[in-house]
Amino acid sequence: MLMMFAFMQTLLAQATDPNKNTNVVQPKIMVIPFTKDGEDIRTVLEADFLKREAITKVKNGFDTRGFSTVDFLAKLKQAKDEQLFVDAQTDVKSTFIQFSGADIYVEADVHLNPNGKSAQILLTAYDAATATAYASVVCDSRDHYNTDPETLINAALVSPCPGTSHDDESLTAGRSRGSCLDDFLGILQAKFMDIVQNGRPIKIDFSLSQTASKNFESKVTVNGATVQLQDAIDEWLSAYAVKGNVNMQGQTKTALFYSEVRLPLLDKNGNNLSLNKSGQKITQFLQSIGISSTRSIKNGGIYVTITN
């Protein structure tokens, strides 16, 4: 029994410590400041030292635990140098996140209590392609003898999550007894691995342009067989999706709606497979069966318009 217990402890340690499992696919993580409506992510850190401090400490925490990170400030400088925002993008934040190459972005929202004795940091992780929330925790320093803001921020990250302690025997099975940051990373890694194995859930809509002569009941030829366009699309998506996970929400003569298609997160070489690349594969398939189309990426979904 003692040997079995020791073996199980080893497996648990490997599952929760990225440094002990070299086979785990690690996401690229970028930590960014939380921004309110009307705030510009390009300038929000300039006048707020505490936000800069929190972002640096969270990023360093990821780095020391073996995660791959994207430096927010360095990437922002690169974006400015390459004049990414010259065209007055309608959504600067989304444009920058896509440019960063990160798989996940983590928003850090710092709050110092008015009494100056404690600090809270809300950490929320999102899928970079769809903005789907992966994990969220509140790290709390509790009342601390040292009221220096930098110390309070560090204390919040290294303390257990609120409601737990290192001596609490009522912790749920599998939950980390480490720091708040450890708990957050454990949740994040588990969620990311689920997406790697089962695909990223994406909404895909197909529609017709006003000038299109074809509709989704039109006949097309696929591998020598004549089928309706809607059936050709459905079969191709089922083959492309991870484990064939495709959920058609509705279909008409003029539109196809997929509420969830589990698209691959990585290509065969282990590189990030963006929504734009998946959209390109869809339009390439349509072109191969004589269908012209355009595509756009909006709100974490792929929108394809048949044009001929």
Q: Does pLDDT of 176 surpass 50?
A: no
Residue range 95-110, pLDDT digits in tens: 899 889 898 999 999 9
DSSP character string of 256-296: EEEEEEEE-SB-TTS-B--HHHHHHHHHHHHHHTT--EEEE
Crossing angle between the packed helical segments 180-198 and 49-64, to the nearest 10 degrees: 60
**Closest-CA residue to 103 (of 74, 130, 127):** 127
pLDDT for position 25: 67
pLDDT for position 254: 96
From 65-69, 118-122, 251-255, the region with the lowest mean pLDDT? 65-69
pLDDT for position 24: 55
pLDDT for position 177: 55
pLDDT for position 293: 97
Would you state the structure tokens that stand for residue 22, as one six-digit string?
């070299």
pLDDT for position 39: 87
Q: Which residues of 91-100 are buried (b: 16+ CB within 10 A; e: fewer)?
A: ebbbbbbbeb
Residue range 187-226, pLDDT digits in tens: 988 998 999 899 999 999 999 999 999 999 999 999 999 9
Cα(121)–Cα(109) distance, integer angstroms: 5
Instruction: Give pTM, 2 decimals.
Output: 0.77
Domain ranges within the chain, ordered by starting residue: 17-196, 199-306
- DSSP H helices, the chain, are 2-16, 49-64, 72-81, 92-100, 149-158, 180-198, 229-240, 275-288
What mean pLDDT do residues 249-269 have? 92
17-196: CATH number: 3.40.50
pLDDT for position 239: 97
Query: Phi-psi region for residue 109, left (φ > 0), alpha (ψ -120 to 50) or beta?
Result: beta
